[in-house]
Amino acid sequence: MDKKFICNAGDIAENSFKIFSGPGGKEGILLNLAGKFKAFVNSCPHMSGPVELERCDGDERILKCQWHGATFDPETGRALSAPAPEGSGLRELRVIVEDNKIYYE
């Protein structure tokens, strides 16, 4: 599989996110979790709404669907609350960091 460029590592602040053009024309979401990069297809399994990284308790972050409020673990993409179906989650994309550039596969 070919890797696709997302952005330079310095373009995304720590504990924030960046929306990018993902696989198959779908939107992706890149997370910078305290210097660790994760990426998912930005589509809630409930009704395909977009998710955003939000602060919850203290410095903890959570991914939350902007349409109906389902929540997801930003490390794994696993659904944490309804209306996302139990056992569902966001589709993770493999992140590659080379020469301060971030790609996905």
Domain interval for residue 35: 4-99
3-state DSSP assignment of residue 11: helix
What are 65-87's pLDDT values in tens digits?
Answer: 999 999 999 999 999 999 999 99
| Number of folded domains that form the chain | 1
| pTM of the shown model | 0.94
**Spatial distance between the Cα atoms of 8 and 97, rounded to a whole number of angstroms:** 9
Using pLDDT thresholds of 50, 70 and 90, give the confidence band for residue 1.
low
Is 54 inside a domain boundary? Answer: yes
Residue 19 lies in a domain: yes
Is residue 105, in this structure, part of any structural domain at all?
A: no
Distance CA 99, CA 28 (A): 21
pLDDT (tens digit per residue) in 42-59: 999 999 999 999 988 777
Beta carbons within 8 Å of 5's beta carbon, 6+ residues apart: 101, 102, 103
User: How far is 96 from 102, CA to CA, in rounded Å?
Assistant: 6
Q: For position 46, which CATH number holds?
A: 2.102.10.10
